[in-house]
Amino acid sequence: MTRHYNFCAGPAALPESVLKRAQAEMLDYQGRGLSVMEMSHRSDDFIAIAEQSEADFRALLGIPDNYKVLFLQGGASLQFSMLPMNLLGRGGSANFVHTGIWGKKALAEINHLGLPHHLAASSESNGHTAVPPHEAIVLSDDAAYLHFTANETIGGLAFDYTPNAQRRDGTDVPLVCDMSSSILSAPLDVSQYGIIYAGAQKNIGPAGLTLVIVRDDLLDQAQSPIPSLFHYRGIAEAKSMVNTPPTYAWYLAGLVFQWLKDDIGGLVEMEAINQRKADKLYGAIDASDFYANPIATPNRSRMNVPFVLADSALDSAFLAEADNAGLLNLKGHRSVGGMRASLYNAVSEDAVDALIAFMADFEQRRG
């Protein structure tokens, strides 16, 4: 068996030790004679798995007691509509900072629902190569919350500050953040946010699960009526089991949280590793005239590193040779082209070293 280095933007690489543990427990979970996939979500065994998974997630991020963690389906994309449905019940508009394709999709969804929204700032004028300066974010007087995307997965653009969600009259409104591609990559002060959400398939676990961290006072601001499967309050009260949850993804996420705690040592350690990986790859890109990344240095994503070759005619050769060398999924998003190396938590430093060595070799032969 050979496992290649996987730079996929999502579903992304998972820690090998997690996959091995899942493999070992696949047919017979801890002597119960069945797999986790085959258990009732109401069984004591699964409830214990679910509770441990949540407890480890809370411990990793230091989530305060006045926040609920919801384990949902529908992807991060469903939150683009669940958020306004849950937060605009008392009137006002959703405010957005638009820094790339995922933020644009969140805006499109609220537009589709016909709900009030306001663009508080955008990086469109610089081609999403730098996030708007903090002072450029101006909330509408009726802002009910401010939404931003911490890390734009396609553009490789990351915030280097936490936006201040305050109207001009000084009223604070909840800060809502799409952290799909950066959650668990570094420590986080959850208390600065009203809601944080993330699709699982990057740093959390397999696809099919979405985590939402929601402050208690935001559970009860939904429009009426709202489908019960969309209502944060009802989901929280049912402990994310209004209906059958994605049990196996929840279990695997729990294994990833244990790996982060026990094998890595926590998010401080994880951030240091992620910083080293990103520094190495950006350093190699910057040291060459053959590769380029357009993002302003403070906003360069540690998780997703897009880059282009000086001659795009070589793109397909680069990808084919990388693939042959066991470096998988380096093709940039279909909307932007070029290359993208995603360096999520489970992508090892060895993988990054192998990529850099391949890039240098390719440049020497084809540059």
Q: Interface with ligand PMP by CB under 6 A: which residues? A: 10, 75-77, 102, 149, 153, 178, 180-181, 199
Specify whether 102 is catalytic. yes
The residue from 56, 178, 259, 331 that is catalytic is 178
Using the CB atoms, write b or e for 174-193: b if 16+ within 10 Å: bbbbbbbbbbbbbebeeeeb
State which residue, 130 or 359, has the beta carbon closest to ligand PMP: 130
Q: Is the peptide bond before 133 cis (omega within 30 degrees of 0)?
A: no
Buried b (16+ CB within 10 A) or exposed e, 4-20: ebbbbbbbbbbbeebee
Give the whole-angstrom CA distance, residue 255 versus residue 214. Answer: 23
Nearer to ligand PMP, 284 or 295 (CB): 295
Q: Which of 97, 181, 178, 151 is nearest to 295 (CA)?
A: 151
Q: Where are the alpha helices (DSSP H) in the chain?
A: 16-25, 44-61, 75-87, 101-112, 232-237, 247-258, 267-286, 315-324, 349-366
Question: Cα(202)–Cα(303) distance, rounded to whole angstroms?
Answer: 9
- Let me know how long the chain is: 367
Q: Please report, in range form, the residues annotated as the binding site for L-glutamate.
A: 42
Considering beta carbons, is residue 73 or 288 the nearer one to ligand PMP? 73
| In the complex, least distance from residue 129 CB atom to ligand PMP, rounded to whole angstroms | 17
Instruction: Tell me how far apart the alpha carbons of residues 108 and 339 are, in angstroms, rounded to a whole number.
Output: 26
Active site residue 280: no
Q: What tokens were used for 331?
A: 């093709």
Q: Is 250 a catalytic residue?
A: no
| Residue nearer to ligand PMP on the CB measure, 81 or 288 | 81
Q: Which is nearer to ligand PMP, 67 or 102 (CB)?
A: 102
Closest approach, Cβ 179 to ligand PMP, in A, equals 8
Distance in Å, CB of 135 to ligand PMP, minimum: 24
10 within 8 A of 207, measured Cβ to Cβ: yes
In terms of CB distance, is 77 or 166 closer to ligand PMP?
Answer: 77
Q: Which candidate, 248, 263, 260, places its Cα nearest to that of 22? A: 248
Which positions make up the binding site for pyridoxal 5'-phosphate?
76-77, 102, 153, 178, 201, 243-244
Give CA–CA dist 292/196, Å, rounded.
Answer: 32
Which residue, judged by CB position, is nearest to ligand PMP in the bound state?
A: 75
- As annotated, the active-site residues are 102, 178, 202
